[in-house]
Amino acid sequence: MPALCRDCDHRDEAGFARCPACGSRRVVAHPELFALAVAHVDCDAFYASVEKRDRPELLTRPVIVGGGTRGVVSAACYVARTRGVRSAMPMFKALAACPDAVVIRPDMPKYVAAAHRVRALMEALTPLVQPLSIDEAVLDLSGTQALHRAPPAAVLTRFARAVEAEVGITVSIGLARNRLLAKLAAERDKPRGFAVLGAEAAEWLAPQPVTLLPGVGPALAKRLQAAGFSQLGQLAALDAREAARRFGEDGPALAARARGEDARRVTPEREAKSISAETTFDADLRALPDLEAPLWRMCEKLARRLREKDLAAAGIVLKLKTAGFELRTRNARLGRPTRLPETLFACAKPLLAKEATGTAFRLVGIGAQPLAPGAEADLPDLADPDAARRAAKWQAVEALRDRFGAAAVLSGRAVPRKPGRG
């Protein structure tokens, strides 16, 4: 069976359990190892790994990246995960599970800088790099063997070592014939892993729970299980007609994915489906005026993100989370695409008012969905002669903030009310 040493790139079609060149036992072996070319790369516990890189004294300590006791876990290192800490877990639960954890506030500029360095190393391998998030991407290395004088598997092991040496973090890699299987493979061997899924994929998938499939969340899993489908093999056995009859228009694609089929191509540009901003309060808020101040700040942040991505909001999504962690979302369409905070706020405020009836909320957020090209944002309108003035005002505010910092210009709407004031 073909094998590859992950530490020195020694490879042999006949295979080996221990590298004869360097003695390493970090060996990956698979019948299709040198034939597969689609890879999923996932940075291991990314935020926490960057923090440990910069603070070596934390290497063996449980580290949680998150905000305050009322926030949620943004990332947890693998030491903390062994204690039951997970991403998106409320911080108070994470600290109850791991009271000796070192908690670090997120430092997004630092994480973005590290992600850019990893991305640059990816793009040196192939032009077909599709980012999926700040810490993961899918690559297609088809046709690159002549360029690199090595099969994709060997190129990827070199890449993993380069990330460790140049960025100071580790990655896990999945190699397969398509995007779905590559992602599933990457999850099999974390952290610092390298796993392969080939012709055996359908057999391996069959006994797995339906929740293993990306996109099958709790609601869909419950619906599938109620219909008698708890394992992927049961879904895989459905033909397209029967899958459509049972699960609607998405049924055939669901059954195909359960078989490991995925026709999606790797495209260099990731199409954003939504952009959002949210904040968790230090204390629960109930009154509408108290909720409006943080909503305005999130509208400003969303407008800034839209500008940075050269996009506009054609609609908005208001997000609220109650003190009991119940999630509420409310949607509204905009008359014209915008990236002005005033317009976003004017659309979201009536939605907020309908919810602010005494319920205690711990979080508010706003998202832009659907998105529109930036060129369509805030175009002149004869019915709204002040539109150009508002756009110019916001551009001036952003120019000042870009030059002098975010605190250079503050809006009165962003200032929270003092307790007890009406």
Positions marked catalytic? 136
Q: Starting at the edge strand that comes first in sequence, how are the strands of the sheet with 3-5 ordered?
A: 11-12, 3-5, 27-29
Residue pair 345/295 in contact by the 8 Å Cβ criterion: yes
Task: Mention every residue, 6+ apart, whose C-beta is less than 8 A from residue 106.
Answer: 47, 65, 66, 67, 74
44: closest CA among 165, 145, 172, 214?
172
* Alpha-carbon gap, residue 92 to 85, rounded angstroms: 11
Number of neighbours of residue 269 by Cβ within 10 angstroms: 8
* Alpha-carbon gap, residue 191 to 73, rounded angstroms: 19
SS (H, E, C) 254-267: HHHHHCCCCCCCCC
Query: What are the structure tokens assigned to 276, written together?
Result: 């959002």
The number of residues in the chain equals: 422
CA distances, 237 to each of 35, 228, 232, 252 (Å): 28, 13, 9, 11
* Alpha-carbon gap, residue 185 to 421, rounded angstroms: 56
Q: Is the dihedral of CA 351, 364, 321, 75 positive or negative?
A: positive
DSSP E strands: which ranges in 177-243? 194-196
Q: CA angle, corner 266, sides to 261 and 269, nearest 5?
A: 140
